[in-house]
């Protein structure tokens, strides 16, 4: 809090000046993010390659997310099937339930839910981890011991998220379809074979392929945002909290924007 004596009145800056400083900050930040991404693409192709660290990160990001992804995917399958039933039942079209649900899960729900869970769990984890490494000088310690911290910490994590989010998405897809099957089997008595025949009749290669590509993009975004926020955090423990928080918020926001854009592109392709 700033105190002023009677003689000294607070200086009011013209609004245009404040706006210009804000715009400066926005463009500086955008330039910084673009440089960060540019550096990633430069470093990713240059040796030495951090295979061990990439595999370790894939385990941390992929395998350790399985319990949460399993539970969420399974529940989404059941709930979506349940919520879709009344609408189709009005037209006597409950036999279309497997087709409808599979299209929704494969095209939108599985990629989006996986990305959102990824942004929450993985984005915050990366942001907090790198943030605390930054404020406790661990990143500098790596640099002075002749290790490229960008390659070791950032490249490995961004690659891991880019590979693992599509893999997790495929797994979510499968679990959600199984959840939906249990629901439709319990209510309509649809057999496993009939259900999956209808599911695979409804979806095309483009549906799965586009979801995989979209998830890779989501994964890349989650990784880059988490690493960027963590790598540039400051102001001690407060900065670490902010890095973790803004990693999640920014990644989720960008995932939705990307989902909208990819929807337009895929619809045009279809």
Partner 1 sequence: MKKTTPVIDTANSVINIRGLEKSFGDLDVLRGVDLDLYKGENLVVLGKSGTGKSVLIKIISGLLKPDAGRVTVLGQEVSTLKGRDLDQLRLKIGFSFQNSALYDSMTIRKNLEFPLVRNRRNLTRAEVDKMVEVVLDAVGLSQTINQMPSELSGGQRKRIGIARTLILQPEIMLYDEPTAGLDPITCIDINNLINEVQDRFHTSSIIITHDLTCAKDVGDRVVMLLDGQFQRQGTFDEVFNTQDERVKLFHDYNFIN
Residues that bind partner 1 in the complex, under the rule CB under 8 A: 129, 132-133, 136-138, 140-141, 143-147
Nearer to partner 1, 60 or 258 (CB): 60
Nearer to partner 1, 11 or 144 (CB): 144
Q: Shortest gap between Cβ of 31 and partner 1 (angstroms)?
A: 19
Closest CA to 158 of 243, 50, 233: 50
Q: Shortest gap between Cβ of 259 and partner 1 (angstroms)?
A: 33
Closest CA to 175 of 81, 74, 102: 74
Burial of 232 (0-12, 13-18, 19+ CB in 10 A): middle
Contact present, 167 and 212 (Cβ < 8 Å): no
Q: Which are the contacts of 33, defined by CB distance < 8 A and separation ≥ 6?
A: 224, 228
Nearer to partner 1, 29 or 140 (CB): 140
**How far is it, in rounded angstroms, from Cα 204 to Cα 206?**
5
Nearer to partner 1, 166 or 239 (CB): 239
Q: Shortest gap between Cβ of 80 and partner 1 (angstroms)?
A: 38
Q: Shortest gap between Cβ of 55 and partner 1 (angstroms)?
A: 15
Q: What tokens does 39 get?
A: 């550096």
Nearer to partner 1, 36 or 50 (CB): 50
- Between the CA of residue 81 and those of 87, 173, 222, what are the distances in Å? 11, 14, 29
Q: Shortest gap between Cβ of 150 and partner 1 (angstroms)?
A: 12
């Amino acid at each position: 809090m700033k105190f002023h004596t009677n003689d000294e009145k607070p200086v009011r800056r013209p609004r245009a000046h404040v706006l210009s400083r804000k715009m400066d900050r926005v463009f500086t930040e955008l330039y910084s993010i673009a440089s960060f991404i540019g550096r990633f693409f430069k470093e990713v192709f240059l040796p030495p390659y951090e295979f061990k660290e990439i595999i370790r990160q894939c385990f941390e990001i992929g395998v350790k997310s399985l319990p949460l992804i399993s539970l969420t995917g399974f529940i989404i399958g059941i709930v979506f099937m349940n919520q879709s039933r009344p609408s189709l039942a009005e037209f006597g079209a409950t036999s279309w339930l497997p087709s409808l649900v599979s299209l929704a899960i494969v095209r939108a729900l599985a990629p989006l839910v996986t990305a959102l869970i990824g942004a929450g769990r993985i984005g915050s984890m990366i942001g907090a981890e790198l943030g605390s490494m930054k404020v406790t000088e661990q990143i500098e310690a790596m640099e002075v011991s002749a290790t490229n911290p960008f390659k070791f910490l950032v490249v490995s994590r961004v690659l891991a998220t880019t590979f693992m989010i599509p893999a997790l998405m495929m797994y979510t897809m499968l679990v959600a379809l199984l959840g939906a099957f249990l629901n439709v089997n319990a209510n309509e008595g649809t057999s496993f074979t009939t259900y999956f025949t209808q599911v695979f009749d409804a979806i095309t290669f483009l549906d799965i392929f586009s979801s995989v590509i979209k998830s890779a993009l989501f994964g890349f975004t989650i990784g880059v945002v988490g690493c960027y926020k963590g790598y540039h955090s400051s102001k001690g423990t407060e900065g670490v909290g902010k890095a973790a928080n803004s990693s999640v918020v920014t990644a989720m926001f960008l995932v939705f924007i990307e989902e909208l854009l990819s929807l337009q592109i895929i619809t045009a392709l279809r």
